[in-house]
Structure 1
Amino acid sequence: MSTHTARQGIYNVLTGRAVCPAPRPDDEAEGLLAAHRAEVVAERDTQFVAWLLKKAREYPTDPARQENAADAIARLASKVQRGAVRPNNLRTDFFQPGHTYTHVDDGTDWKFRVDTVTSCPEDGERTALGWRHFKGEWEPYAYDEDDYDIHLCVGLAEVTEGGEAS
């Protein structure tokens, strides 16, 4: 059996890169297309699961801030329907430029808007540079990777411009 993906097989046939002295039988073509669809669905499902796990980590633990299960599911379904699940919004290993973060349950007005991420030339440790909102004031601020890990422990969530948790 070949080690390339179904997508690569289809690409090779369509571009003439496959050794193909005669047209392929219908069942072989259908098999390649079905295998490609299965690969795409598996990749999409992996993205959905990663996104749902990210949302679960961000879900408020304070009962006063929780919504009922039906409303939470409807809100998540709406986000899926309008395309909110994308590979570039699943990265959760560090602050991302152009994003604003807040804590979901700590009762403060803390926010951090990330303008850029840089890394130390010596050890490669990343530092996010941006603006922190705390106690009613915005100030320039930097957080490093250890700070990010600490914030995850207290319920870090990305927020949109309008303040809705994404």
Structure 2
Amino acid sequence: MNARERLQTMVRTDRGSMTVWPESEVASALDAYRDEVLAEVTTWLVKKARGFRAMGGEMRAALASKVDRGAVRPDNLRMLPADFFEPGHTYTVNEPFTAPEIRPHFQCVAVAIHPTTGNRRAFGFEQRTANAPWASASLRDEEWADGWVDVTEETSGPAAPDNDAVARRAHLARAIRQGGRWKSGTVVRWYEEQGYEGLGPNAARNDLAALRRAGVIVPHDEKGVRWYSLARQGGAR
């Protein structure tokens, strides 16, 4: 009997069930169920770490280890103020006297430590003004000190790219940097290999178009077929 099944036997479900369980046993059962759920989370994180090591699997493995050691506790979940960009979040510079449409925005995809300097670097996409195209960018602690503020909830509408799409396109850009000819069919096969579910040719064309606008890739037309390759000077900042 697992923890969930034990709890189900302790919960009264009909008039004939009159068993009164001691408080200590109820507490023990709840703790056991929580440990069971955390074990499932740990397994999931380890699985993702193995499948997506190129996207930061080492970090996922470290998180899984912390969960396994009991680092996630009710008394250890207080959120501290962020001291740097966080993946999956959108930021703008805190300039109250500047119109919002001309403030820069930054969508953070990943954060890494420079192997030589040890400094943090946030990677993602930046939009200089509301009508400007999104381009790949990397920001450091020095830029964070300029006063970037989290506006993820405010920019979750259609004007801002979906966080999942931004992360996927950054992952795709890393794959394209390995070389080769990339068409929509190539990208669809890459989706399947990388575990992106429910994505077809339309998503592939949109992702390629976004990377082209960002200057990451360039198009080629050959015998009526369009394919893309890495832009030698594109996208990097």
TM surpasses 0.5: no
Q: TM-score range by the shorter chain?
A: 0.3 to 0.5
TM-score by length of 2: 0.29
Higher relative contact order at CA 8 Å, sep ≥6: structure 1 or structure 2?
A: 1
Structure with the greater alpha carbon radius of gyration = 2
